[in-house]
Chains A and B, each alone.
Chain A
Amino acid sequence: MSTEEENQTVFDVAAASMLTKELRDVFASGKTRSYEWRISQLKSMIKMCEEHEEDIADALHQDLSKPKLESIVYEITMLKNSCALAIKELKRWMMPEKAKTSLLTFPSSAEIVSEPLGAVLIISAWNYPFLLSLDPLVGAISAGNTMVLKPSELSPATSTLLAKLLPEYLDVSSIKVVEGAVSETSALLEQKWDKIFYTGNGRVGRIVMAAAAKHLTPVVLELGGKSPVVVDSGIDLQACISPDYIITTKDYADKLVDSLKKELETFYGENPLESKDISRIVSSNHFSRLTKLLDDDKVSGKIVYGGERDEANLKIAPTILLDVPRDSLIMKEEIFGPLLPILIVSKIEDSWDVINSGTKPLAAYLFTNNKKLKEQFVMSVSAGGVTINDIAMHLAIHTLPFGGVGESGTGSYHGIFSFDAFSHKKAVLYRSFMGDAALRYPPYTLGKIRLMKALMTSNLWTILRALLGLS
């Protein structure tokens, strides 16, 4: 059944069940396990990005009004990079890892073998709809699985484009795209998968994990959370549109706000709603949600910059709110929009408690030149990842695991972590028939305990003494 036909008929539980069976059969055939298959898929993905760069940028623009350069920078290039890294490293990643053996199992040799999990489900999000769909796919492919990708319905142009392009460039028998919303996702979640990789919010994350629990399916949940930026005084801030909220001291706050205003004007001009570089809010639901945050009584009078909205075009100007109360609406949920609240603390060290009093975020940032502060921050603040003196960079570094903790998620990916996320690491022990100690077997005697104790402490001298009956 081609994906087009699937879209025209209802994708229900029966269809989902057939789909998973098909993927399992293909997996059982061994097709996706060869190095050649994996490399060919990764290379085709790069080709797809290159040949359809315009189409992808157009879809992203349609969905989110993303400026073409932002799309290409953040999504397409990062994905190509991900593929290129996997192609370069795959042989090494696929190789078994030798494991040390001890006297306890002597003589023996051991290794850890990576093997694919089987049929995996990848559910993607709407904010980076291209990258967050295909980056996990790179991991699943490198690890040799068969897979279903379910792109977010909130970014429909990208979803449709992926449904069209993937079958053209990738192995359609092993890599399927299923478009749709709640009912299609539910149908998929009822099936037994060997792994589910979900990017999105905590509410749906819980639903995904509960569904996975029925089949004992392991999950990676890349969720969100309120990513804070702590700004120490004496820092020149440049760009900080991606964090969720800022914490700074009373003394520095005004200077910070001025600095931010200046930068925002440089980026977006004096009338940001008219700037070509502003992204659109993804849906009217999200637009209402965001305006509600701005209209909350607790933050009235706190807007120091921006606040303009254009409901017809679903645009909100970059907005700064100063000294918001910790119990305001805007501090209760992940913002996901161009609103930047600033919290004030008396001294910068108070920030750690502020952050830790909330749920653990995906990322936390600190800007400072003070070494002690940096150390305190790293030790005290629990987050998926932390970055000092920059924003969002740790996303792009393939040698660092990217993932959350607590409410911000479980599991991680990027680089080899993607490969590992979709692999099972099988322990293998090779033994021979030599070295069979009678002490292993019944009938048990107390003398055997002595020898066993010696063996388990792996102390040669003790073993010798035990063998000679001297201890």
Chain B
Amino acid sequence: MEGLEGTLAELRDTFQSGRTRSVAWRKSQLRGMIEFVQDNEERIFQALDQDVGKHPVEAYRDEVGVVAKSAKLSLSCVEKWMAPRKGDLPLVFFPASAQVMPEPFGVVLIMGSWNFPISLTLDPLIAAISAGNAVVLKPSELSPTCSSFLAENIPKYLDPKSIKVIEGGIDVCEQLLQQKWDKIFFTGSQRVGRIVMTAAAQHLTPVTLELGGKSPAIMDSSSNPTNMKVIAKRIVGAKWGSCSGQACIAIDYLLVEERFASDLIDLLAKTIKQFYGENPRESKSYCKIVNKNNFKRLLDLLTDPLVEASVAYGGSVDEEKMYIEPTILLNPPLDSQIMTEEIFGPLLPIITLDDIYESINFISSRPKPLAIYAFTRDEKFKKQILSRTSSGSVTFNDTLLQFLCDSLPFGGVGQSGFGRYHGKYSFDTFSHEKAILQRGFFPELEPRYPPWNSFKLHFIKLAYAFNYIGLILLLLGLKK
């Protein structure tokens, strides 16, 4: 406990000294980050393989590449982002100037998650650094190889006086959450999100919560056979191609019209074989389930006999290898756990509807998800989805790519979280936007001060309405 408080005190002193605020410091750290991932690419791939069985391509695409890209963008933009923004000022405030200047919060806590143990810790770290903060990074203990890799190597590349990695489990998290932070950035489950925010409330600490939810995919009938092949690839890629479905933006379940269901299942099955071969257990391109708890949790979703009966494809498991076959279910009961909780695994329920337009009510009557994916060319349908559902993001005719688009804010709404990052939003999320107003001394407006009289009242009314003509007339005695 003293160790932690001592660490925090050290970070506060470092921050107070102004060390992390200079452009030079921020850029040096960002360069350090780029070097870190470049120098250690192989070792990072190994750690990811060890923790979640990620193939190097997935590891590059979702982790190393994301971090490198993010660091490079921040490096080239940080000075621009740091610059104060001018605000418009109405004439009545003349002479004056208004600006908004971003400043770092101070000492911030970043809690990463286990499914993307490198990118979901380092991308927020890049954000915190570019905004000029001192940081404690807490990687998830459920990805222990990556966690110790970061703890060991980050201090070799980044400023150890300002950036600390603290490892540990629940007890360490609890201790961390008792401290006073200037900001907390949390990626993880809704349950822990509540705990984090409750702890933050004791210190009025602002938080960003990147949570999850059940992100649906909708598929209508407006696609021709060629496009259907592409759609199938995108669906399979978004369900099983990223950490075996253990991703916050993975497709959780699919909505499709009854008449297309069986063809879709066939096509998906074919695509799964294309990607993973006849026996996905042997495929190196398929991730494992992270640990026994999650493995059991996923199996439990299938124990309900009605759910088990709805399995239309897959379903085999190998507990030793932490393997669950890509599995498709057709119409499990809507009140079953698999349809009420976030799945976070390689099980894909398909729910059929009479009319695809019903998907809108289906989704909007449930908690707001992090992402909605809609495969459609019906412009009217697209507009309805946009205006009548709410989600962190909506992607039309594709999946997962919104994550790579730096100009789009990445974050949830409602139960899927609040706050956002990526691109400049990352910088903003770790900054306080300070309003700055500068005035000259002349002329001074007497009507602002007591003793009050009706002339002053009139003056102020006109001033606040920016009625300059009226003001002039009043001053000239020509207005009553």
- A: residues with CB less than 8 A from B are 28, 30, 33, 67-70, 72-73, 77-78, 80-81, 84, 99-102, 104-105, 108, 110, 112-113, 115, 117-118, 194, 202, 205-206, 209-210, 212-214, 216, 218, 221, 223, 236, 238-239, 266-268, 277, 356, 369, 374, 378, 382-390, 393-394, 396-397, 399-402, 405-407, 409-412, 424-433, 436, 440-446, 448-449, 452-453, 456-457
Contact = CB atoms under 8 A, between A and B. Distances in A.
Interface in B381-404: 386-388, 390-398, 401-402, 404
A68 B68 CA distance: 61
Interface stretch (B135-143, B349-357, B405-413): B405-413
A362 to B, nearest CB: 11
Q: From DSSP, what is the main secondary structure of chain B's interface residues?
A: mixed
A428 B105 contact: no
A443 B405 contact: no
B98 A277 contact: no
B204 A449 contact: no
Given A77-B460, A389-B441, A457-B69, A216 B409 contact: no
Contacts, number: 289
Contacts of B190: 216
A78 B466 CA distance: 12
Contacts of A101: 405, 407
Nearest to B276: A442
B386 A239 contact: no
B283 interface: yes
Nearest to B456: A69
B444 interface: yes
Contacts of B58: 444
B432 interface: yes
Select the residue from A105, A427, A448 with max chain B CB neighbours within 10 A. Answer: A427
Contacts of B285: 442-444
Contact of A216 (B209, B406, B465): B209
Contacts of B417: 216
B450 interface: yes
Interface string B56-97: 111011000110110010000000000000011110010010
Contacts of B90: 397
A115 B435 CA distance: 26
B420 interface: yes
A426 B211 contact: no
A433 B454 CA distance: 68
B247 to A, nearest CB: 15
B298 interface: no
B202 A388 contact: no
Interface residues of B, number: 107
B392 A382 contact: no
Interface string B205-218: 01001010000000
A394 B435 contact: yes
B262 interface: no
Nearest to A266: B451
B305 interface: no
A409 B441 CA distance: 30
Nearest to A423: B413
A238 B450 CA distance: 11
A417 to B, nearest CB: 9
B401 A72 contact: no
Q: From DSSP, what is the main secondary structure of chain A's interface residues?
A: mixed
B56 A216 contact: no
A444 B57 contact: yes
B40 to A, nearest CB: 15
B193 interface: yes
B60 A210 contact: no
Contact of A81 (B100, B457, B464): B464
A386 B100 CA distance: 10
B156 interface: no
B405 A69 contact: no
16 contacts: A69-B452, A69-B454, A73-B461, A73-B464, A213-B200, A216-B197, A218-B418, A268-B451, A386-B434, A386-B435, A394-B98, A400-B87, A425-B420, A429-B405, A444-B285, A445-B57
Nearest to A74: B460
A28 B236 CA distance: 33
B306 interface: no
B434 A99 contact: no
B207 to A, nearest CB: 9
B18 to A, nearest CB: 8
Nearest to B211: A216
B277 interface: yes
B101 interface: yes
Interface string B277-288: 100000111100
Contacts of A117: 413-414
A310 to B, nearest CB: 19
A412 B100 CA distance: 12
Interface in B85-130: 87-90, 93, 96, 98, 100-101, 103, 105-106
B461 A72 contact: yes
Contacts of A108: 398, 401, 405
A449 B435 contact: no
A229 to B, nearest CB: 14
Select the residue from A67, A72, A428 with max chain B CB neighbours within 10 A. Answer: A428
Given A378-B101, A427-B394, 9 more contacts: A69-B452, A99-B408, A104-B404, A117-B414, A221-B204, A400-B100, A401-B435, A427-B392, A456-B65
B415 interface: yes
Contact of B401 (A77, A84, A397, A431): A431
B438 interface: yes
B435 A442 contact: no
Nearest to A445: B57
A209 B197 contact: yes
Contacts of A442: 55, 237, 241, 275-276, 283, 285-286
Contacts of B420: 425
Nearest to A394: B437
Nearest to A100: B407
